[in-house]
Amino acid sequence: MVTFSHADLGTAESAWVAAGLSAAPELPLDSGELAALGFVVLAAHPDDETLGAGGLAASLRQLGASVEVLLCTAGEGSHPESATHTPERLAAARLEEFAAALTELGLEGRWRFLGLPDRGLGLHADVIADSVRQAAAKAAGTPAEHRDVVIVAPYRADGHADHDALGAVAADVAAEGGHGLLEYPIWYWHWAGPDHSDWRDWMRFHLDPPARQAKDRAMAAHATQVLPLSPAPGDEALLSEGFLQHFARGYEMFAWTPPRKPAEPSHRSGEATEIFDRVHQRTEDPWNYGSSWYEQRKRALTLAALPEATYAAGLEIGCSIGTLTADLAPRCRSLLAVDASGVAVEQARHRLAAAHHVTVEQAVLPAAWPAGSFDLIVVSEVGYYLARDELAAMWDRVEAAMQPGGTLVLCHWRHPVAGWELDGESVHALARERLGWRQAGMYRERDFLLEVLVAPGPAGTAPA
């Protein structure tokens, strides 16, 4: 636990702004996906839910999502030096405030109080875990209407003992049940600083004006925390104006772990030919490459991100029916495109028949790696179709085949990919970790991530 006091100045919001917090990646869930999920929101004390996730909760209710809030304690220990308010009086007041705040968020009657002691949640992990499991089962609905569940809880390294204990239980239950997990920091913004690395992997959830207004009204309902209890010593406002600035942003921040079923089978590359042959046999353009504006934009952005005008030898991994291949062809003097699906390869060959400098081959990578070296390698929408060990082997192959100073382009969907072990964010993170190459550019939006890495140049040359 971090030793701190609400009276400390803490880290100013301006420091977080200057560090680029508002440029954090957006949570990769659109309104339709959010509405289809079931949410269990956990609060250690009244006001935690509003500070950390009030805007999210209000947004979810606007979308019609299933939301239930579990409040662990009444927060009776918030003013231990008060001479005017006993813990019992504080508990009663704070529960009334909590109910009023949830009404402002659109969650009237959608909460349950566990009645556990303030500053003692670490001793009640089993009780909390059972309650969270029950709420998650309810949020999932009947077998016929089964919904994936997301648990929203305090960040497990927030620095407050109750927050940390509740966050740890939430993480354990989420992992056990394959649920998603959104962890919201509260005191972290106060005691930590931009030099801490945790926040750099977190996601941003944008709040529209109605959600921001609902959060403001809910926060005002917690009067015992934002206003003095009385002029007497020990009754000072617990949450200072400077502290509250961290929660007046136009967005909320979360550490995000997507839902994942423990028993869900995870495919491996050896199954890719059969799987993707079936996909391409059902329709000539299974992902609407030709007609989708999303796909057209993504290809245009990929081409614009290439740092060189032309390349001597390009390799495209996972070419499918060859739409991106056709766009890459004018930028390469020779181009090899490979795909696991023989059906897709035949379509790509037909599409590229007039481009005599382009070769299209059927191959399951990384095992059947092509010979030669390349100064451009493109890995687009294919990395998460490999198991973690297979992806590591592919980065080894990429490193061995890349010419000094060559360009690696990565582009992947940011949403969960059912039936496969990895997602787009983890594919890129593993590439950065394994290769350690210089990043030449990155573009991220809610749906996809586009990144360019550059291999080290010849010995004795300085990076561009």
Residue 237 has pLDDT above 70, yes or no: yes
Check residue 3 and give its pLDDT: 55
Q: What are phi and psi of 251, to 5 degrees?
A: -160, 165
Q: Is 266 helix (H, G, I), strand (E, B) or coil?
A: coil
| Residue 10 C-alpha from the chain's centroid | 27
What is the dotted CATH code of the domain comprising 13-257? Answer: 3.40.50.10320
pLDDT band (50, 70, 90) for residue 269: low
d(CA 340, CA 318): 7
Residue 4 has pLDDT above 90, yes or no: no
**The amino acid at 283:** T
Check residue 86 and give its pLDDT: 97
| Rounded average pLDDT over 112-124 | 97
Which tens digits make up the pLDDT trace of 35-66?
999 999 999 999 999 999 999 999 999 999 99
Check residue 284 and give its pLDDT: 84
Residue 7 has pLDDT above 90, yes or no: no
Instruction: Of 82-91, 246-255, 380-389, 418-427, give the lowest mean pLDDT range.
Output: 418-427
| Rounded average pLDDT over 336-362 | 96
Burial class for 222, CB neighbours closer than 10 Å (0-12, 13-18, 19+): buried
Which tens digits make up the pLDDT trace of 364-403?
999 999 999 999 999 999 999 998 999 999 999 999 999 9
Residue 460 has pLDDT above 80, yes or no: no
**Prior bond of 366 cis (ω within 30°):** yes
The whole-model pTM stands at: 0.83
Same fold, 13-257 and 269-454: yes
User: Does residue 328 contact residue 303 with C-beta atoms inside 8 Å?
Assistant: yes
Residue 263 has pLDDT above 50, yes or no: no
Which tens digits make up the pLDDT trace of 435-457?
999 999 999 998 999 999 999 99
Check residue 268 and give its pLDDT: 54
Check residue 420 and give its pLDDT: 74
Domains of the chain, by residue range, sit at: 13-257, 269-454
More confident residue, 325 or 384: 325
Average pLDDT score, the chain: 93
What's the DSSP call for residue 228? -
More confident residue, 391 or 2: 391
Check residue 5 and give its pLDDT: 62
Residue 272 has pLDDT above 90, yes or no: no
| Rounded average pLDDT over 264-286 | 70
User: Does residue 430 contact residue 392 with C-beta atoms inside 8 Å?
Assistant: yes
Check residue 281 and give its pLDDT: 85
CATH fold, domain 269-454, is: Rossmann fold (3.40.50)
Tokens of 117: 């002691």
d(CA 394, CA 402): 12
| Rounded average pLDDT over 58-81 | 97
